[in-house]
Amino acid sequence: MMRHMEELIQEVVIERDTVIGYPAAFRYVAAGRSAAVFFDHVEQKAVKVYFPSYEHLAEQEAAIYEQLSNPIYFPQIYEVGDNYLVMEYIEGKTLYDCLVEGVTITPDMIRRVDDILEYAVSKGLNPSDTHLKNIILTKDGTIKVIDVVRFTQKEVCEQWPDIKKAYYLYYQKRFFPKKYPRTLIELIIYLYRSNLLPI
């Protein structure tokens, strides 16, 4: 039987930014501000389904991935639909997961993110919204950046420079903990977004 991704996507029910239901062939992976991501067991791929008010971002993000055209630094893209993107599922953990689980973030990992973002600049893009949940340490120890949809914005995004500052100022210090409770990380992110942090 032919299996159509579009039919599976119709079984994904999202209200505003809350996933209500999804097909049995999918496993829920995570959600961000604009979409929820599933793992498709049959195709072994990631399916990013945009929230109703962000559906227009599917084509935009696909176009940016095409402009980047680099399957080493970014996930490979297989299909774009009205409100979804089918891409390579990257096995690994986000840098956010690394903080929660106590996996050490090394200076080399930070440099690799820099290389990737520099590459994006060389392709005429403006890397934006690069934060801990949008960087994946793969299971082979390489780094990939995901969620590139804001790479065409004009404004300068300070998130990655700020993360780097915090990394060298605090995280790298010998006695600084490498593992953090999720609630503390969320609090720090909240304070950062409210401009209440001295970095």
Ligand X SMILES: Nc1ncnc2c1ncn2[C@@H]1O[C@H](COP(=O)(O)OP(=O)(O)O)[C@@H](O)[C@H]1O
Which residues lie near ligand X (CB under 6 A)?
Answer: 29-35, 37, 46, 48, 75, 87-90, 94, 133-134, 146-147
Cβ atoms of residues 123 and 67 within 8 Å: yes
In the set 40, 97, 114, 129, the catalytic residue is: 129
Indicate if 129 belongs to the active site: yes
The closest residue (CB) to ligand X is: 32
Cβ atoms of residues 65 and 109 within 8 Å: no
* DSSP notation for 166-189: HIIIIITSTTS-S---HHHHHHHH
Interatomic CA distance for residues 127 and 157, integer angstroms: 7
Exposed/middle/buried for 113, CB within 10 Å: 0-12, 13-18, 19+?
A: buried
The binder of 89, among ligand X, Mg ion, none, by C-beta within 5 to 8 A per type, is ligand X
Residue number, 87 or 105, with CB nearest to ligand X: 87
Residue number, 64 or 110, with CB nearest to ligand X: 64
The binder of 143, among Mg ion, ligand X, none, by C-beta within 5 to 8 A per type, is none
Residue number, 83 or 134, with CB nearest to Mg ion: 134
User: By CB under 5 A, is residue 130 in contact with Mg ion?
Assistant: no
Cβ atoms of residues 5 and 47 within 8 Å: yes
Q: List active site positions.
A: 129
| Residues near Mg ion (CB under 5 A) | 32, 134, 147
